[in-house]
Structure 1
Amino acid sequence: MATRIGVVTFPGSLDERDAQRAIRVAGAEPVPLWHGDHDLRGVDGIVLPGGFSYGDYLRPGAIAAVSPIMTEIVEAANRGMPLLGICNGFQMLVEARLLPGGLIRNAHQQFIRRDQRLVVENAETVWTNRFETGEEIVIPLKNADGGYIADAETLDRLEGEGLVAFRYAGVNPNGSQRDIAGLTNERGNVVGLMPHPEHAVEPGFGPDTPEAMRSGTDGVRFFTSALHALADAAA
């Protein structure tokens, strides 16, 4: 039986179909989930996709973080289920307190879209084990509220405990403190990041690379990492 990864749709989600496609490309079965339900449909992992849930009213991700299905998602994540939050999904994770800190308006006050270089800081999570620590990858980025913030004590703890999963390389596109692009929880099953790995899974549709235009596929390893971790756990 194929591994089943759920993708939640909220009002204003934009990238749930892309996330489903990425899961399929990686070799798993994508399972649509609805924000108003309390049923995770027996999935093995979950992706919270990018977009503008509830129009980013109040704060990006704040309303989605208290949607009905998030009760089950938080409980499942606390039990160890793999959970990936992408862009707006990352915002939901911090609003739900599954990851610390917050995300605010980009420092230059503008929406940004670019192919972003990242350094993999932690390659031992459920979602990053197919990478190497210190490896540089390129993942598309598109956000208006991607500036990561936290108090100094939290930032020091994240650094000291190896909970920074990704860091911006070359340029900090949104003013995130300490160039933080993504985080993991202590257990390594919950990961959130602002860039969009689901947009870099197939040649011809990803970021440009020195080899060819739109040939970047670094994003697919997020999803194959989860499949690898789930297979190991089941063995």
Structure 2
Amino acid sequence: MSTRIGVVTFPGTLDDVDAARAVRLAGAEPVALWHGDADLRGVEAVVVPGGFSYGDYLRAGAIARFAPVMGEVVTAAAGGMPVLGICNGFQVLCEAGLLPGALTRNAGLHFLCRDQWLTVESTATAWTSRFEVGAEILVPLKSGEGRYVASEQTLAELEGEGRVVFRYTGGNPNGSLHDIAGIASANGRVVGLMPHPEHATEVLTGPTDDGLGLFLSVLDSVLAA
């Protein structure tokens, strides 16, 4: 029986289909999770994908954080379930308190859409064990509110505890503090990143298949639990 990984859909979600495809390519079974249902349907990990949940009204991710499904995600994450937030999903996880800091408007206030090099800073998470520290991966970036910010104390904790998971390489595209592209929770089970690994799972359709490593990693994590 294959591992079941949930993929959340909010009104305005754009990348749930690609996230489900990435899960399937990794060898797991994607399970659709609807924002209005307080039910994770027995999944063993959750992906909160990108898009514009609830139209990004108020702040990106601010309304999605109160969706019934997110109450279940927060509870499951507290119990150790692996959770990945991509782009808008990263924003939702920060709004929900599963990750520290916030995502704000890009420096220059421009929407960015480009292939972006990242450096893998940590492999000690449920979503990055298949990589090597220092590896460079190429995945798409597409966001208008991707500038990661946090207090100096929080930044010091993230750096000191090895919780910066991905860093922008070859120039910071959006002004994120410390060039941060992705971070992890203290236990390494929850990861959020602004670029889109689910769009880099096949060489035919993406710049690389580098993003598949995140989805393969979580399978290892679930099977080892």
Interval of TM-score (by shorter of Structure 1 and Structure 2) = over 0.9
TM-score (norm: length of structure 2): 0.99
Distance in structure 2 (CA, Å) of the matches to 1:111 and 1:25: 29
Distance in structure 1 (CA, Å) of the matches to 2:4 and 2:202: 20
Tell me which of 199, 208, 229 is aligned to 2:221.
229
Distance in structure 1 (CA, Å) of the matches to 2:162 and 2:18: 29
Which position in structure 2 is the counterpart of 1:41?
41
Distance in structure 2 (CA, Å) of the matches to 1:60 and 1:77: 21
Which position in structure 1 is the counterpart of 2:74?
74
Which position in structure 2 is the counterpart of 1:206?
206
Deviation at 1:52, TM superposition (A): 0.3
Which position in structure 1 is the counterpart of 2:163?
163
Deviation at 1:225, TM superposition (A): 0.1
Distance in structure 2 (CA, Å) of the matches to 1:203 and 1:193: 21
Which position in structure 2 is the counterpart of 1:211?
none
Asked if 1:192 is matched to 2:184, the reply is no
Deviation at 1:61, TM superposition (A): 0.4
Distance in structure 1 (CA, Å) of the matches to 2:212 and 2:136: 15
TM-score (norm: length of structure 1): 0.95
1:117-149 superposed Cα distances (whole Å, 9 cap, x missing partner): 001011110000000111111111000000000
Where does 1:123-138 land on structure 2 (aligned, <5 Å)?
A: 123-138=123-138
1:80-107 superposed Cα distances (whole Å, 9 cap, x missing partner): 0010000000000100010000000000
Aligned residues: 225
- Unpaired runs of 5+ residues, structure 2, are none
Distance in structure 1 (CA, Å) of the matches to 2:124 and 2:206: 25
Distance in structure 2 (CA, Å) of the matches to 1:171 and 1:140: 15
Match of 1:81, as an amino acid?
M
The Cα RMSD (Å) is 0.5
- Unpaired runs of 5+ residues, structure 1, are 208-215
Q: What's the secondary structure of 1:32's corresponding residue?
A: strand
Which position in structure 1 is the counterpart of 2:117?
117
The list of structure 1 runs, each at least 4 consecutive aligned residues, that deviate by more than 6 angstroms after superposition, is none
Distance in structure 2 (CA, Å) of the matches to 1:172 and 1:23: 29
Match of 2:9, as an amino acid?
T
Report sequence identity in percent: 63
Which position in structure 1 is the counterpart of 2:153?
153
Which position in structure 2 is the counterpart of 1:93?
93
1:13-55 superposed Cα distances (whole Å, 9 cap, x missing partner): 0000000000000000000000000110000100000000011
Deviation at 1:79, TM superposition (A): 0.3
Distance in structure 2 (CA, Å) of the matches to 1:156 and 1:135: 23
Q: What's the secondary structure of 2:122's corresponding residue?
A: coil
Which position in structure 1 is the counterpart of 2:32?
32
